[in-house]
Structure 1
Amino acid sequence: MSEAAPNTPSPYIDTTRPHPARMYDWFLGGKDNYPVDEEMGRKVLAIEPNVPVLARMNREFMRRATRWLASQGIRQFLDIGTGIPTEPNLHQVAQGVVRDARVVYCDNDPIVLAHAEALLRSTPEGAVDYVQADVRDSTAIVERASKSLDFSKPVALSLIALLHFVGDRNADGGAGAHEIVSGLVDRLAPGSYLVLSHVTADFQPEKAEQVGSLYRAGTASLHPRPRTEFEKFFTGLEFVGPGIVSEGEWHPELGEPVPGEEDVIKAGYSAVARKP
């Protein structure tokens, strides 16, 4: 598909409070952000000046993982927590390897919805679509994505820099991050893959707490998880080598190095695993 964004009302975007997606865009040097996002972003940089490098490393991990998966024969990709588009985006990387790759982006954020048209640019042989849904509603995601993807065949599920904004099981019984992932993986065919990146406090606990406090005071909760909790997302799956590593350590030969990454202290985990 290459049509415009879904026929939905124009989203309301609150420009009076910082937003994680727009802050991430600002860290990456994008233009889809507002002064309030830059203000909060500068407060984060006062705590950890390397955040822009870390953000670029995270995006490069996504691109390397996508490139590797496409080279392994994966032709279907479901990217949840898409965020504001940055080029090259996932579908551009996948279709650069296999032109008939089919990609569905998913996000519940009105900011992303406003930019959805920029995502829907596919090769003639492939397909690109956008689904507006919350990661907590796996049934709705799979149902809507099924218009473009065949879930009886392998799918690469990407959750890049998303789950650290999702808490554990809520007091009211709502699904937490681990239950959400297991529910999505259960709907994937054997031979599918899970791609994750996630912030941790294992390496810089004091800075992680300070940054987390800033986000909580703004518009989002931040939930850095230790390696043991990150590993639980992959229960029942088979890790692709080199297993759980920092973003820059996952098959660096598949992409270009990010300037400055050799001087950055680790701040997150990443991994790719296959569903047997």
Structure 2
Amino acid sequence: MDDLIADFQLGGQNERARAARTPNRRNPLGGEVVTGDAYASGQEPEIRIDTSVAHPARVWDYWLGGKDHYPADVEVGDQLEETIPEVVLWARADREFLGRVVRHVIGEGVRQFLDIGTGIPTRDNTHQVAQRLAPESRVVYVDNDPVVLAHARALLNSSSEGATDFIDANLHDPDTILDEAARTLDFTKPVLVTLLGILEFSVTDEAYTIVNRVLEPFPSGSFLAIACPSNETNTEAMDEVARKWNDSGATPIIMRSAAGLKRFFEHMDLLEPGLVPLPQWRPDTGTLYADRGMDFYCAVGRKP
């Protein structure tokens, strides 16, 4: 395990995002760039960041070996690693899962993507994977974390044939997400909705209603991908992870069981292999840790 983590952290340091700090409504490659109201004036919105409390995007960045984190994030990240040493592997496995899902739905003809809970940009963001295979792909990113907003420009670099958009919105306001996503996405065509590492921050059963509302306007053939930590197999340790995180003063999280995670797909057809640890969802030759179990689960469903 120590060797795996050392290799992971070194790789993260070499691959950290070099995100610009100011928004840009024009893509130098000529692609369409649509930005949210916060950027309508062409000026960077005021962003206030509280560095005294751990922030999920910054802790994730710390585990990836990035540079956009503060002592509070390091402290909590280290505390969680003491309980579950593999937590530092979750971030890389999550990014690889995203790539595999995007490639799969591209093969199914999907060219539209709604990425909710984007996080700090890093390598192989959704639009980069999608437009590499299908340059006409249209991608909408959604996040309201100040740290992510500070990096939003890195997500607005579309191919010449496609489009990207960034929406400053909260998962708990699905109507705003859909209203603003309609600027870029055609709701008569299938879409992939990704909710990776975000549903654990929606701690009540309202999360199921929100996901159903987001999917409601999209047609048959649309997909949903989720990834969440779970207390299904390592209950005591994962509940301790949740306790340590919640005690830090950060945005509270909840650990759901396998049944709780599968419930997000009750109106969808769950793709094989079903709900599995991150590296075990259709691994390819480049998948790291493909033979490992993880307490971070994922699944993909198709709207019938």
Q: TM-score, normalised by structure 2?
A: 0.84
Rounded Cα–Cα distance in structure 2 between residues aligned with 1:261 and 1:46: 23
Q: Please state if 1:275 is matched with 2:297.
A: no
Secondary structure class of the residue paired with 1:252: coil
- The 3 A distance-change label for structure 1 pair 187 and 53 is same
Contact 2:62–2:77 (8 Å) recurs in 1: yes
Is 2:222 the counterpart of 1:192? Answer: yes
User: Which of 258, 265, 276 is residue 245 of structure 1 equivalent to?
Assistant: 276
Q: What is the aligned counterpart of 1:216 among 226, 246, 249?
A: 246
Q: 2:55 — aligned with what?
A: 19
5 Å matches for 1:104-183? 104-169=140-205, 176-183=206-213
C-alpha distance in structure 1 between counterparts of 2:193 and 2:128, whole Å: 16
Amino acid at match of 1:210: E
From 61, 72, 85, the equivalent of 1:49 is: 85
Secondary structure of the corresponding residue to residue 106 of structure 1: strand
The aligned counterpart of 1:236 is 267
1:65–1:139 distance in 2 versus 1, CA, 3 Å = same
Letter matched to residue 243 of structure 1:
G
| C-alpha contact (below 8 Å) 1:80/1:159 kept by paired residues | yes
RMSD between aligned alpha carbons? 1.5
Which string of whole-angstrom CA distances, capped at 9 and with x for unpartnered residues, describes residues 84-115 of structure 1? Answer: 11111111001111011000000111111111
Match of 1:38 in 2: 74
Matching residue of 1:266: 294
In the alignment, residue 184 of structure 1 is paired with which amino acid? V
Asked if the contact 1:71–1:97 (Cα under 8 Å) also holds between the matched residues in 2, the reply is: no
The amino acid of 1:186's aligned partner reads E
TM-fit CA distance, 1:34:
1.2
> Partner amino acid for 2:255?
P
CA contact (8 A) 1:54 1:261 kept: no
SS at match of 2:276: coil
**What's 2:258 paired with?**
227
Shift of 1:4: 7.1
Look up the equivalent residue of 1:33 and give its one-letter code: H
Aligned residue pair count: 267
Partner Cα separation in structure 2 for residue 244 and residue 154 of structure 1: 22
Query: Larger deviation: 207-216 or 94-103?
Result: 207-216
Do the aligned residues in 1 keep the contact of 2:112 with 2:139 (CA within 8 Å)?
A: yes
Secondary structure, counterpart of 1:233 in structure 2:
helix
C-alpha displacement of 1:265: 3.8
- The answer to whether the 8 A contact 2:34-2:163 is kept is no
Aligned to 1:173: none
* 1:226 partner amino acid: S
1:207 is matched with which residue: 230, 233, 237? 237
Deviates more, 1:160-169 or 1:71-80: 160-169
Aligned partner of 1:172 in structure 2 is none
Residues 164 and 224 in structure 1, CA contact (< 8 A), matched pair in contact too: yes
> Which residue in the other structure is 1:70 paired with?
106
Between the aligned residues of both structures, percent identity stands at 39
Distance, in Å, in 1 between the alignment partners of 2:154 and 2:69 is 16
Instruction: Quote the residue 2:124 is aligned against.
Output: 88
Whole-angstrom distance in 2 between the partners of 1:226 and 1:209: 11
**In the aligned structure 1, how far is the partner of 2:221 from the partner of 2:34?**
30
